[in-house]
Structure 1
Amino acid sequence: MSRIRIVPIFVTALLMLALLIGGWQAYQHYNLLNPLKQSLQSVAGVEKVDITTGSPDVVVIQLGPFQTLKDGDLQMTYDAISDEIEHKLGTNVSVRIGDAHEGPLTQLFEGAFELYIQQGIAKEDYTQMASDVARLAKSNHVAYRLTMDNSFIYLQLQKGPYYLYRVIPYASRAGGATA
Protein backbone atom coordinates (compact mmCIF):
# COMPACT_ATOMS: atom_id res chain seq x y z
CA MET A 1 0.00 0.00 0.00
CA SER A 2 1.24 3.39 -0.82
CA ARG A 3 0.99 6.04 1.77
CA ILE A 4 0.54 9.64 0.83
CA ARG A 5 2.50 11.93 3.05
CA ILE A 6 0.45 15.01 3.80
CA VAL A 7 3.18 17.20 5.31
CA PRO A 8 5.57 17.21 2.30
CA ILE A 9 2.65 17.85 -0.09
CA PHE A 10 1.38 20.70 2.08
CA VAL A 11 4.86 22.27 2.37
CA THR A 12 5.42 21.96 -1.39
CA ALA A 13 2.05 23.56 -2.12
CA LEU A 14 2.83 26.46 0.23
CA LEU A 15 6.24 27.01 -1.37
CA MET A 16 4.70 27.03 -4.86
CA LEU A 17 2.02 29.49 -3.75
CA ALA A 18 4.66 31.77 -2.22
CA LEU A 19 6.72 31.55 -5.40
CA LEU A 20 3.73 32.42 -7.60
CA ILE A 21 2.69 35.36 -5.41
CA GLY A 22 6.27 36.64 -5.26
CA GLY A 23 6.62 36.34 -9.03
CA TRP A 24 3.38 38.25 -9.60
CA GLN A 25 4.47 41.01 -7.20
CA ALA A 26 7.83 41.32 -8.95
CA TYR A 27 6.15 41.41 -12.36
CA GLN A 28 3.74 44.12 -11.22
CA HIS A 29 6.48 46.18 -9.64
CA TYR A 30 9.08 46.01 -12.39
CA ASN A 31 6.98 45.65 -15.54
CA LEU A 32 3.86 47.66 -14.69
CA LEU A 33 4.20 50.11 -11.81
CA ASN A 34 7.76 51.42 -12.24
CA PRO A 35 7.33 52.11 -15.98
CA LEU A 36 3.96 53.77 -15.28
CA LYS A 37 5.50 55.98 -12.58
CA GLN A 38 8.32 56.99 -14.93
CA SER A 39 5.96 57.79 -17.80
CA LEU A 40 3.63 59.78 -15.51
CA GLN A 41 6.52 61.76 -14.06
CA SER A 42 7.47 62.79 -17.59
CA VAL A 43 4.07 64.52 -18.04
CA ALA A 44 4.41 68.30 -17.68
CA GLY A 45 3.31 69.48 -14.24
CA VAL A 46 3.57 66.13 -12.44
CA GLU A 47 5.77 66.39 -9.37
CA LYS A 48 5.11 63.11 -7.56
CA VAL A 49 3.30 59.82 -8.28
CA ASP A 50 2.06 57.23 -5.77
CA ILE A 51 0.38 54.02 -6.94
CA THR A 52 -1.55 51.69 -4.67
CA THR A 53 -2.68 48.40 -6.16
CA GLY A 54 -6.00 46.99 -5.10
CA SER A 55 -9.54 46.93 -6.33
CA PRO A 56 -9.57 49.51 -7.80
CA ASP A 57 -5.98 50.62 -8.22
CA VAL A 58 -5.41 54.15 -6.90
CA VAL A 59 -3.01 56.58 -8.56
CA VAL A 60 -2.29 59.79 -6.62
CA ILE A 61 -0.67 62.53 -8.69
CA GLN A 62 0.85 65.62 -7.07
CA LEU A 63 0.78 68.52 -9.52
CA GLY A 64 2.82 71.69 -9.49
CA PRO A 65 1.65 75.29 -10.02
CA PHE A 66 -0.27 76.45 -13.11
CA GLN A 67 2.80 77.37 -15.15
CA THR A 68 4.25 73.85 -14.84
CA LEU A 69 1.17 72.16 -16.31
CA LYS A 70 0.98 71.18 -19.97
CA ASP A 71 0.22 74.54 -21.62
CA GLY A 72 -0.85 75.76 -18.16
CA ASP A 73 -4.04 73.72 -18.51
CA LEU A 74 -5.35 71.13 -16.04
CA GLN A 75 -7.54 69.47 -18.68
CA MET A 76 -4.63 68.79 -21.05
CA THR A 77 -2.47 67.53 -18.18
CA TYR A 78 -5.26 65.30 -16.84
CA ASP A 79 -5.91 63.87 -20.31
CA ALA A 80 -2.21 63.01 -20.71
CA ILE A 81 -2.19 61.37 -17.26
CA SER A 82 -5.40 59.43 -17.99
CA ASP A 83 -4.08 58.19 -21.32
CA GLU A 84 -0.90 56.83 -19.69
CA ILE A 85 -2.83 55.13 -16.88
CA GLU A 86 -5.43 53.61 -19.20
CA HIS A 87 -2.67 52.31 -21.50
CA LYS A 88 -0.80 50.59 -18.64
CA LEU A 89 -3.49 49.63 -16.08
CA GLY A 90 -6.82 49.76 -17.92
CA THR A 91 -9.93 51.65 -16.92
CA ASN A 92 -10.64 50.36 -13.39
CA VAL A 93 -8.34 52.94 -11.80
CA SER A 94 -9.10 55.77 -9.40
CA VAL A 95 -7.06 58.91 -10.15
CA ARG A 96 -6.61 61.53 -7.42
CA ILE A 97 -5.03 64.90 -8.05
CA GLY A 98 -2.97 66.55 -5.32
CA ASP A 99 -2.24 70.27 -5.11
CA ALA A 100 -1.08 72.98 -2.69
CA HIS A 101 -4.50 74.16 -1.56
CA GLU A 102 -3.81 74.95 2.07
CA GLY A 103 -4.89 78.40 3.13
CA PRO A 104 -7.85 80.27 1.73
CA LEU A 105 -8.52 78.26 -1.43
CA THR A 106 -10.12 75.20 0.16
CA GLN A 107 -12.60 77.30 2.12
CA LEU A 108 -13.31 79.45 -0.91
CA PHE A 109 -13.86 76.38 -3.11
CA GLU A 110 -16.10 74.59 -0.62
CA GLY A 111 -17.98 77.75 0.31
CA ALA A 112 -18.74 79.20 -3.11
CA PHE A 113 -17.07 77.74 -6.20
CA GLU A 114 -18.39 74.24 -5.58
CA LEU A 115 -21.91 75.60 -5.09
CA TYR A 116 -21.86 77.39 -8.46
CA ILE A 117 -20.42 74.35 -10.21
CA GLN A 118 -22.93 71.90 -8.71
CA GLN A 119 -25.76 74.32 -9.47
CA GLY A 120 -24.57 74.61 -13.07
CA ILE A 121 -24.45 70.83 -13.40
CA ALA A 122 -27.89 70.37 -11.84
CA LYS A 123 -29.51 73.00 -14.08
CA GLU A 124 -27.31 72.14 -17.07
CA ASP A 125 -26.66 75.89 -17.38
CA TYR A 126 -22.93 75.91 -17.99
CA THR A 127 -22.69 79.45 -19.34
CA GLN A 128 -24.20 80.81 -16.11
CA MET A 129 -21.87 78.55 -14.11
CA ALA A 130 -18.85 79.89 -16.00
CA SER A 131 -19.88 83.52 -15.49
CA ASP A 132 -20.56 82.93 -11.77
CA VAL A 133 -17.13 81.32 -11.35
CA ALA A 134 -15.46 84.20 -13.22
CA ARG A 135 -17.25 86.80 -11.10
CA LEU A 136 -16.37 85.01 -7.86
CA ALA A 137 -12.72 84.60 -8.87
CA LYS A 138 -12.42 88.27 -9.79
CA SER A 139 -14.03 89.47 -6.56
CA ASN A 140 -11.65 87.31 -4.49
CA HIS A 141 -8.54 88.18 -6.55
CA VAL A 142 -8.04 84.54 -7.54
CA ALA A 143 -6.50 83.46 -10.84
CA TYR A 144 -8.66 80.74 -12.34
CA ARG A 145 -9.25 78.56 -15.36
CA LEU A 146 -12.45 76.61 -15.98
CA THR A 147 -12.68 74.10 -18.82
CA MET A 148 -15.01 71.23 -19.68
CA ASP A 149 -15.17 68.15 -21.85
CA ASN A 150 -17.76 65.38 -22.23
CA SER A 151 -16.95 63.80 -18.87
CA PHE A 152 -15.50 66.36 -16.48
CA ILE A 153 -15.34 69.99 -15.41
CA TYR A 154 -11.77 71.12 -14.71
CA LEU A 155 -11.22 73.97 -12.25
CA GLN A 156 -7.88 75.59 -11.48
CA LEU A 157 -7.55 78.23 -8.76
CA GLN A 158 -4.43 80.10 -7.69
CA LYS A 159 -3.91 82.80 -5.08
CA GLY A 160 -0.35 83.66 -4.20
CA PRO A 161 1.66 80.49 -3.58
CA TYR A 162 -1.46 78.35 -3.19
CA TYR A 163 -3.18 76.50 -6.00
CA LEU A 164 -6.14 74.15 -6.13
CA TYR A 165 -7.16 71.69 -8.84
CA ARG A 166 -10.51 69.93 -9.08
CA VAL A 167 -11.69 67.43 -11.69
CA ILE A 168 -15.45 67.23 -11.21
CA PRO A 169 -17.49 64.58 -13.01
CA TYR A 170 -20.86 65.51 -14.41
CA ALA A 171 -23.71 64.02 -12.40
CA SER A 172 -25.26 60.91 -13.86
CA ARG A 173 -27.80 61.94 -16.44
CA ALA A 174 -29.65 58.61 -16.37
CA GLY A 175 -33.35 58.88 -15.66
CA GLY A 176 -35.25 57.23 -12.86
CA ALA A 177 -35.84 57.72 -9.18
CA THR A 178 -33.15 57.54 -6.55
CA ALA A 179 -33.44 56.74 -2.89
Structure 2
Amino acid sequence: MKLRLLPVILSVAISATVLFGGWFAYQSFAMENPLASIVESTPGVELVNTKINTNDAEIELKLQPGTSMREVYDNIQSKGSAILGKKALKLKVSNDSSQELDQWWSSALFDVAQAMETKHYAQIPTTLQSRVDASSGMKISTEMNDKFVFITMTDGDKSKYVMLPRTPEKMGVWPNE
Protein backbone atom coordinates (compact mmCIF):
# COMPACT_ATOMS: atom_id res chain seq x y z
CA MET A 1 0.00 0.00 0.00
CA LYS A 2 1.45 3.32 -1.07
CA LEU A 3 0.41 6.52 0.69
CA ARG A 4 0.47 9.75 -1.18
CA LEU A 5 2.32 12.47 0.66
CA LEU A 6 0.24 15.47 -0.46
CA PRO A 7 -3.17 14.18 0.75
CA VAL A 8 -1.68 13.13 4.12
CA ILE A 9 -0.02 16.51 4.71
CA LEU A 10 -3.15 18.32 3.56
CA SER A 11 -5.35 16.25 5.94
CA VAL A 12 -3.03 16.91 8.88
CA ALA A 13 -2.92 20.65 8.11
CA ILE A 14 -6.71 20.94 7.81
CA SER A 15 -7.28 18.89 11.00
CA ALA A 16 -4.79 21.00 12.96
CA THR A 17 -6.36 24.21 11.69
CA VAL A 18 -9.86 23.10 12.67
CA LEU A 19 -8.72 21.79 16.05
CA PHE A 20 -6.67 24.81 17.10
CA GLY A 21 -9.07 27.26 15.49
CA GLY A 22 -11.94 25.76 17.46
CA TRP A 23 -9.93 25.89 20.67
CA PHE A 24 -8.95 29.51 20.01
CA ALA A 25 -12.56 30.49 19.22
CA TYR A 26 -13.81 28.79 22.41
CA GLN A 27 -11.10 30.43 24.50
CA SER A 28 -11.85 33.83 23.03
CA PHE A 29 -15.64 33.88 22.71
CA ALA A 30 -16.68 31.67 25.62
CA MET A 31 -14.05 32.60 28.20
CA GLU A 32 -12.07 35.81 27.65
CA ASN A 33 -14.75 38.03 26.07
CA PRO A 34 -17.39 37.44 28.79
CA LEU A 35 -14.79 37.89 31.53
CA ALA A 36 -13.51 41.06 29.87
CA SER A 37 -17.05 42.48 29.75
CA ILE A 38 -17.48 41.77 33.47
CA VAL A 39 -14.22 43.57 34.24
CA GLU A 40 -15.08 46.53 32.00
CA SER A 41 -18.52 46.89 33.61
CA THR A 42 -16.97 47.18 37.08
CA PRO A 43 -16.99 50.85 38.20
CA GLY A 44 -13.57 52.49 38.35
CA VAL A 45 -11.81 49.77 36.34
CA GLU A 46 -10.11 49.90 32.97
CA LEU A 47 -9.20 46.51 31.49
CA VAL A 48 -5.70 46.25 30.08
CA ASN A 49 -5.24 42.54 29.36
CA THR A 50 -6.85 39.16 30.05
CA LYS A 51 -5.09 35.81 29.90
CA ILE A 52 -6.83 32.55 30.86
CA ASN A 53 -4.80 29.39 31.41
CA THR A 54 -5.88 25.96 32.55
CA ASN A 55 -5.19 26.81 36.22
CA ASP A 56 -5.77 30.54 36.51
CA ALA A 57 -7.14 33.72 35.00
CA GLU A 58 -4.72 36.65 34.98
CA ILE A 59 -6.30 40.05 34.54
CA GLU A 60 -4.24 43.19 34.19
CA LEU A 61 -6.18 46.37 34.91
CA LYS A 62 -5.94 50.01 35.86
CA LEU A 63 -7.95 51.45 38.74
CA GLN A 64 -9.22 54.99 39.08
CA PRO A 65 -8.23 56.73 42.33
CA GLY A 66 -10.56 55.84 45.16
CA THR A 67 -11.56 52.47 43.72
CA SER A 68 -11.60 49.64 46.25
CA MET A 69 -9.44 46.78 45.04
CA ARG A 70 -11.27 44.35 47.33
CA GLU A 71 -14.62 45.30 45.81
CA VAL A 72 -13.18 44.90 42.30
CA TYR A 73 -11.78 41.46 43.16
CA ASP A 74 -15.00 40.31 44.84
CA ASN A 75 -17.14 41.63 41.96
CA ILE A 76 -15.10 39.84 39.29
CA GLN A 77 -14.94 36.67 41.40
CA SER A 78 -18.71 36.56 42.00
CA LYS A 79 -19.96 37.65 38.58
CA GLY A 80 -17.34 35.61 36.74
CA SER A 81 -17.65 32.43 38.81
CA ALA A 82 -19.39 30.55 35.99
CA ILE A 83 -16.57 31.46 33.60
CA LEU A 84 -13.73 30.98 36.07
CA GLY A 85 -14.89 27.69 37.53
CA LYS A 86 -12.05 26.46 39.74
CA LYS A 87 -9.45 28.73 38.15
CA ALA A 88 -7.61 31.08 40.49
CA LEU A 89 -8.29 34.77 39.83
CA LYS A 90 -5.09 36.82 39.72
CA LEU A 91 -5.34 40.58 39.43
CA LYS A 92 -2.42 42.74 38.44
CA VAL A 93 -2.91 46.47 38.82
CA SER A 94 -0.74 48.51 36.47
CA ASN A 95 -1.27 52.00 37.87
CA ASP A 96 1.56 54.49 37.91
CA SER A 97 3.50 54.31 41.13
CA SER A 98 6.15 56.78 42.20
CA GLN A 99 9.64 56.23 43.52
CA GLU A 100 8.54 57.68 46.87
CA LEU A 101 5.64 55.21 47.15
CA ASP A 102 7.92 52.30 46.23
CA GLN A 103 10.54 53.32 48.78
CA TRP A 104 7.91 53.86 51.46
CA TRP A 105 6.41 50.42 50.78
CA SER A 106 9.85 48.80 50.91
CA SER A 107 10.48 50.32 54.34
CA ALA A 108 7.07 49.22 55.65
CA LEU A 109 7.28 45.72 54.17
CA PHE A 110 9.06 44.11 57.15
CA ASP A 111 6.34 45.15 59.59
CA VAL A 112 3.62 44.02 57.18
CA ALA A 113 5.38 40.69 56.54
CA GLN A 114 5.65 40.04 60.26
CA ALA A 115 1.94 40.77 60.78
CA MET A 116 1.06 38.51 57.84
CA GLU A 117 3.29 35.68 59.05
CA THR A 118 1.89 35.78 62.59
CA LYS A 119 -1.67 36.28 61.25
CA HIS A 120 -2.12 39.49 63.24
CA TYR A 121 -3.94 41.20 60.39
CA ALA A 122 -5.34 43.95 62.62
CA GLN A 123 -1.79 45.29 63.08
CA ILE A 124 -1.40 46.09 59.38
CA PRO A 125 -3.65 49.20 59.19
CA THR A 126 -2.31 50.67 62.43
CA THR A 127 1.31 49.93 61.48
CA LEU A 128 0.96 51.50 58.05
CA GLN A 129 -0.96 54.50 59.35
CA SER A 130 1.65 55.13 62.03
CA ARG A 131 4.37 55.24 59.36
CA VAL A 132 2.58 57.86 57.25
CA ASP A 133 4.00 61.33 57.77
CA ALA A 134 1.15 63.71 58.49
CA SER A 135 2.65 66.37 56.22
CA SER A 136 3.23 64.07 53.23
CA GLY A 137 -0.39 63.84 52.09
CA MET A 138 -0.09 60.09 51.48
CA LYS A 139 -3.25 58.07 52.09
CA ILE A 140 -3.31 54.42 53.07
CA SER A 141 -6.28 52.09 52.77
CA THR A 142 -6.34 48.47 53.90
CA GLU A 143 -9.07 45.92 53.30
CA MET A 144 -9.34 42.17 53.62
CA ASN A 145 -11.42 39.27 52.36
CA ASP A 146 -11.07 35.53 52.96
CA LYS A 147 -8.14 35.19 50.52
CA PHE A 148 -6.18 38.46 50.45
CA VAL A 149 -5.17 41.58 52.31
CA PHE A 150 -5.50 44.58 49.97
CA ILE A 151 -3.33 47.65 50.53
CA THR A 152 -3.79 50.89 48.59
CA MET A 153 -1.24 53.68 48.85
CA THR A 154 -2.06 57.01 47.20
CA ASP A 155 0.18 60.05 46.96
CA GLY A 156 -1.37 62.77 44.84
CA ASP A 157 -2.14 61.28 41.43
CA LYS A 158 0.16 58.25 41.93
CA SER A 159 -1.10 55.00 43.42
CA LYS A 160 0.31 51.64 44.41
CA TYR A 161 -1.91 48.60 44.95
CA VAL A 162 -0.76 45.44 46.71
CA MET A 163 -2.59 42.13 47.16
CA LEU A 164 -1.07 39.91 49.84
CA PRO A 165 -2.27 36.29 49.97
CA ARG A 166 -3.44 35.16 53.39
CA THR A 167 -2.34 31.56 52.93
CA PRO A 168 1.18 31.14 54.38
CA GLU A 169 2.32 28.48 51.89
CA LYS A 170 1.94 30.98 49.05
CA MET A 171 3.83 33.81 50.74
CA GLY A 172 7.45 33.12 49.73
CA VAL A 173 7.58 36.07 47.38
CA TRP A 174 4.50 38.19 46.91
CA PRO A 175 3.72 38.03 43.20
CA ASN A 176 1.00 40.68 43.15
CA GLU A 177 3.13 43.56 44.29
Q: Smaller-chain TM-score range?
A: 0.7 to 0.9
| Cα distance between partner residues in 1 of 2:115 and 2:52 | 35
| Cα distance between partner residues in 1 of 2:107 and 2:23 | 46
| Cα distance between partner residues in 2 of 1:158 and 1:21 | 44
| Cα distance between partner residues in 1 of 2:163 and 2:13 | 45
**CA contact under 8 A between 1:103 and 1:162: conserved in structure 2?**
no
| Cα distance between partner residues in 2 of 1:132 and 1:53 | 36
Structure 2 CA distance for partners of 1:102 and 1:82, relative to 1, 3 Å: farther
Q: Deviations over 1:45-70 (max 9, x none)?
A: 2112301244544221221211xx2x
Q: What letter is aligned with 1:164? A: K
How far the C-alpha of 1:105 sits from its partner, in A, is 0.9
Q: 1:167: which partner in 2?
A: 163
How far the C-alpha of 1:142 sits from its partner, in A, is 1.4
Q: What letter is aligned with 1:65? A: P
Q: Deviations over 1:153-179 (max 9, x none)?
A: 1111111111111111124269xxxxx
| Cα distance between partner residues in 1 of 2:89 and 2:142 | 24
**TM-score, normalised to structure 1's length?**
0.79
How far the C-alpha of 1:122 sits from its partner, in A, is 1.8
| Cα distance between partner residues in 2 of 1:117 and 1:85 | 30
More helix, by proportion? 1
Q: 1:148: which partner in 2?
A: 144
Q: 2:104: which partner in 1?
A: 108
How far the C-alpha of 1:93 sits from its partner, in A, is 4.5
Q: Deviations over 1:67-106 (max 9, x none)?
A: xx2xxx2211221123344432331443322222123111
Q: Deviations over 1:7-57 (max 9, x none)?
A: 313321221111221122123223322222122111012112301244544
How far the C-alpha of 1:146 sits from its partner, in A, is 0.9
Q: What letter is aligned with 2:143? A: T
Structure 2 CA distance for partners of 1:29 and 1:9, relative to 1, 3 Å: same
| Cα distance between partner residues in 2 of 1:57 and 1:95 | 8
Q: 1:59: which partner in 2?
A: 59
**TM-score, normalised to structure 2's length?**
0.80
Task: Decide which structure has the larger Cα Rg and report it.
Answer: 1
| TM-align CA RMSD | 2.4
The 10-residue stretch of structure 1 (43-52 or 79-88) with the greater mean CA deviation from structure 2? 79-88
Q: Deviations over 1:89-133 (max 9, x none)?
A: 331443322222123111111222x22211101222233332111
| Cα distance between partner residues in 2 of 1:37 and 1:61 | 10
Q: 2:18: which partner in 1?
A: 19
Unaligned runs of 5+ residues in structure 2 are 171-177
Alignment of 1:25-174 (within 5 A): 25-55=24-54, 56-66=56-66, 69=67, 73-90=68-85, 91-112=87-108, 114-139=109-134, 140-172=136-168
The total of aligned residue pairs comes to 167
Unaligned runs of 5+ residues in structure 1 are 175-179
Structure 2 CA distance for partners of 1:5 and 1:167, relative to 1, 3 Å: same
